[in-house]
């Protein structure tokens, strides 16, 4: 019911209620609000149960399209168009094959570049006071 209300908004409402109603009347107002919300929920549950009893098995058939409409609330048109155009292809332009990758690699693993020679040894660390090598063509 209160899906979009966060803790910050609730805190602001409590502080505003404390200033408006005062500390003497705030507990009574909170209890009244809780009773009112409970009554509304009971009315909604009773109406739903009465509708279910009167309609019988047709209630589920009527409820299915409503559930589908509720699912459209989270509809993302960009994702739907992309999925429809590329049919779930992870590499629609074929860039993995051009770059020498056979497919998507798990995160953290280097992509294969087709080199099958010996593994290069890591460079030795610099000694204290030694300047790093400079490539004049790269600067």
**Confidence class for position 116, pLDDT limits 50, 70, 90:** low
According to the model, what pLDDT value does residue 119 have? 67
CA–CA gap between residue 56 and residue 12 (Å, rounded): 45
According to the model, what pLDDT value does residue 115 have? 59
How far is CA 106 from each of CA 52, 83, 87, 103, rounded to the nearest angstrom? Answer: 49, 22, 21, 10
According to the model, what pLDDT value does residue 106 have? 54
Whether residue 2 is predicted with pLDDT greater than 60 in this model: the reply is: no
pTM, full prediction:
0.38
Tens of pLDDT, residue by residue over 86-109, are 776 666 666 666 655 555 555 555
């Amino acid at each position: 019911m209160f899906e979009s209300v966060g803790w910050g908004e609730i805190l602001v409402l409590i502080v505003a209620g404390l200033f408006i109603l005062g500390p003497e009347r705030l507990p009574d107002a909170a209890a009244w609000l809780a009773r009112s919300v409970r009554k509304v929920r009971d009315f909604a549950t009773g109406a739903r149960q009465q509708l279910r009893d009167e309609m019988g098995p047709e209630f589920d058939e009527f409820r299915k399209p409503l559930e589908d409409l509720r699912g459209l609330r989270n509809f993302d048109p960009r994702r739907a168009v992309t999925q429809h155009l590329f049919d779930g292809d992870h590499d629609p332009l074929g860039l993995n094959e051009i770059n020498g990758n056979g497919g998507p690699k798990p995160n953290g693993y280097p992509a294969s570049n087709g080199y099958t020679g010996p593994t290069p040894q890591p460079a030795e660390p610099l000694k204290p006071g030694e300047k790093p090598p400079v490539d004049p063509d790269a600067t």
